[in-house]
Structure 1
Amino acid sequence: LSATLHRDLSSIFHFLSCLRDRMSGPEMVPADLEQLVGVIRQQAVEIVSLRQELVHFRAEITALHAETAALRAECADLRSDLTALQADHDDLAVAQAPPAEPIRQPPPVSHPKISLPDKWDGSGTKCDVFLTNLNLVFEFQPSRYPTDRSRIALLTSLLTGQAAEWATAVLKADGDIAHSYPAFTTELRTVFQHPESEVEVDSRLYHLKQGSRSVSRYTTEFRTLAVQTTWSNAALRTAYYEGLSIRLKDELAVRELPDTLEGMIQLALRVDQRMSHSTKSVFRSFTGPP
């Protein structure tokens, strides 16, 4: 750097000497010449000073670059150490963590086993019984028959005779009722169900007799007809009693009769059961060993 400055100063002073020789003619005033030389010398000194400052700044910038590079290297080392620490922490957390519990699968949904209704040909008065049994299947086994079409398919598979022919025609037509279980069953009822009039039900209930059946069988048919009437409880009680067999009435004659239908039914069932046991005991006594 000093050699460079020396060369620059030598060049400036050499230029000034040449300039002074050229301008030493008679037309140049010596005072003006000296003033010009002084100005040039002053500028040369300032140039040298600026060059020195520039060199100093360059040295400082180089030092800053070196410091920045050192800081970057230090940051890289810190990042590497942090990554290693994080990996160690994760490994330690995994080692100390309790074993994960196995995922418990929900138990399979169990549905009560309900038998399908007997096949039906559309005749008689069993439409309500047939559809009621099917509705129980759909209610307690919804996952097996989730759609209207699956329910219609099951219903159709249980039809025979004229009912099956009607269902086949409906499905081939592919109308709205072929895709709606409620609409399908409504139409089925319209075609095949012929409900008894109130007078017919009343007549059947009035003339209903136990005959040779058990009280349990007689009671079941009586209840089925009774729910379809508007008879009072007293009227139903009287009709139920009148329909019992003469033998059972004889047994009830020595007892105090209940005032309600349900009480009469329970008493008749108990007496019938006792009579049945007595008959079996007598039969065994006659057929046993002497």
Structure 2
Amino acid sequence: ANPSCLTPEVTTASSASRKTCPASGDLLQKHEESLSSLSRQLAASEQWAGRVNETLSAIQETLARLVPPTAPAVPAPPPVPSASLSVGSVRDPAPPALVPFTGELGRCGGFLIQVSLLFQRYPQAFSNDAVKISHVIGALRDRALDWAESYLALHPVETVTYVQFVRDFKAVFHHPLRSDEAARQLHGLRQGGRSVAEFSIDFRVKAAETGWGEDALRGSALPPSPVCSSELAPE
């Protein structure tokens, strides 16, 4: 086309395009410069981080040389239970054996006394009635054991209380002297060929069965007590 034939509008647009091209080039150049600056800053940061890592490694090596390695932890032994925590930590000794009871008259009261003291001394060993009854029966001999055999046939140990057992036991074997009978035996008591100590024991037992006090014994027409005689003997 003939340039002279172009319209004024086309000519004006071409001039504006030529004017804007240098501005775009400047913008691209600025972007390139910014990217180059960022690249340099990133490289400097990486170098600084590398130097920091080297410094930390050197510090760790120095500490490793100064501080000895720790020994592996040894597990603590299990705690020993303290004796104060529980009375049962130390086992009580076994209860002593009872003196056997054969059913002899006049011995039942003393036998039951030692049974009562044993149960009071070892309450944990005799914690229920069945255990108590079984322990008493284990000390019976001869006629007393024969009675226990017949008794348990009618009263199994699991069905009777200890109080009931003792009551039935005393009904058969415990026959304390009446005071008048004890006084009669005390009147007839003589030392004979026994020692003073043996005679004194018998005298005191019979005197206790009468229920008399010391004043009554001194004022009665009894043979003098060995103890009373020694107390009244002139020096």
Scaled by the length of structure 2, the TM-score of the pair is 0.59
Runs of 4+, deviation exceeding 6 Å: 136-140
User: What is the aligned partner in structure 1 of residue 157 from structure 2?
Assistant: 174
CA pair 174-211 structure 1, distance change in 2 beyond 3 A = closer
- The one-letter amino acid paired with 2:152 is V
Query: What percent identity do the matched residue pairs reach?
Result: 18
Does the residue aligned with 1:243 lie in a helix, a strand or coil?
A: coil
User: What is the aligned partner in structure 2 of residue 225 from structure 1?
Assistant: 206
User: What is the aligned partner in structure 1 of residue 46 from structure 2?
Assistant: 62
Measured after TM superposition, the shift of residue 170 of structure 1 is: 3.2
1:215 aligns with one of 179, 192, 196: 196
1:201 and 2:186 matched = no
| Unmatched runs of 5 consecutive residues or more in structure 1 | 1-24, 88-107, 245-260, 272-290
| Unmatched runs of 5 consecutive residues or more in structure 2 | 1-9, 72-89
Q: Which gives a bigger RCO, structure 1 or 2 (Cα 8 Å, sep 6+)?
A: 2
- The one-letter amino acid paired with 1:28 is A
Does the residue aligned with 1:175 lie in a helix, a strand or coil?
A: helix
1:51 aligns with one of 6, 30, 35: 35
d(CA) in 2 for partners of 1:262, 1:50:
133
d(CA) in 2 for partners of 1:45, 1:130:
124
1:236 and 2:217 matched = yes
- The one-letter amino acid paired with 2:125 is P
The aligned runs of 1:114-193 (5 Å cut-off) are 117=99, 119-133=100-114, 146-147=125-126, 153-168=134-149, 169-170=151-152, 173-175=156-158, 177=160, 185=166, 187-193=168-174
CA pair 263-223 structure 1, distance change in 2 beyond 3 A = closer
- The one-letter amino acid paired with 1:234 is D
CA pair 264-174 structure 1, distance change in 2 beyond 3 A = closer
The alignment's C-alpha RMSD in Å is: 4.4
CA pair 27-74 structure 1, distance change in 2 beyond 3 A = same
- The one-letter amino acid paired with 1:232 is G
Q: Is contact 2:200-2:226 (8 Å) kept?
A: no
Aligned residues, how many? Answer: 200
